[in-house]
Amino acid sequence: MSKDSFVTYSGPLNVDLSHLDGVLLSAAAGATKGMHREQEGFAEVEAELARAMPVLGDTIGVGGSVHARIVTTTDKLAQVRAAKLVVDKLAQALTETEILLENEREADIGLIVSAARFVARRKDRSVIALFQRTIRYHGQISLRGAKTRRRNAERAAEAAEAEAEAEKIAALVAHGIVDTFTEDGPGSEPFEGT
């Protein structure tokens, strides 16, 4: 992908979350597991509670303070979600910028490696020793790519072998040589039912 696919980020660069002081929390790993999240249809529930709770809250034994907490919590959620939209977009821009900058740096490292190899071939072989870590670093992606290609080739060969075996069995069945299959495979005795 080229740098032409990127545009300058035009969103906010400063995010003030001071209005969420005392609201924002940080949880230990796994602490949110099993917690209930907002479900579909909350807007209808919110409207229903706004109508019913002032009139029937005491009748059902739930005072107005519970409904007030729901209203306050819903307001805090709206504030958190609004801030999260901005922060998420900024985080996305930071991630995309990080990727582009890494790509540019890796390309420049590749230039140095190519130049060092060229000089080593044409002029001075000792140059390679001065750039050995850089060359090894740059070659990692090639090694990973080779491993992936080899693993994919092995999987393709296994799949082709399995397909060839299936075609052999299908041919045996088509010619009436084998008429049933069991877990033991082709050539097993056919099942004789009563």
Domains of the chain, by residue range, sit at 44-130
Tens digit of each residue's pLDDT, the chain (194 residues):
577 889 999 888 899 999 999 999 999 999 999 999 999 999 999 999 999 999 998 889 998 899 999 999 999 999 999 999 999 999 999 999 999 999 999 999 999 999 999 999 999 999 999 999 999 999 887 667 677 778 888 888 888 888 888 888 888 777 777 665 555 555 555 555 54
The whole-number pLDDT of residue 180 equals 55
The whole-number pLDDT of residue 154 equals 85
For residues 16 and 79, is the Cβ–Cβ distance under 8 A?
no
Instruction: Compute the radius of gyration of the chain from its Cα atoms.
Output: 33
* 139 three-state secondary structure: helix
User: What is the distance between the alpha carbons of residues 64 and 67, in angstroms, rounded to a whole number?
Assistant: 5
H-type helices in 13-63, by residue range?
Answer: 42-56
Phi, psi of 130, deg, nearest 5? -75, -15
DSSP label at 188? S
H-type helices in 58-131, by residue range?
Answer: 64-122, 127-130
The whole-number pLDDT of residue 117 equals 94
Cβ-based neighbours of 134, under 8 Å, separated by 6 or more = 109, 112, 113, 116
Residue 80 in tokens? 């958190």
The whole-number pLDDT of residue 182 equals 53
- H/E element holding 8? none
In the numeric block, the tokens 């739930």 are attached to 62
* 129 three-state secondary structure: helix
- H/E element holding 59? none
The residue among 175, 174, 172 whose CA lies nearest residue 187 is: 172
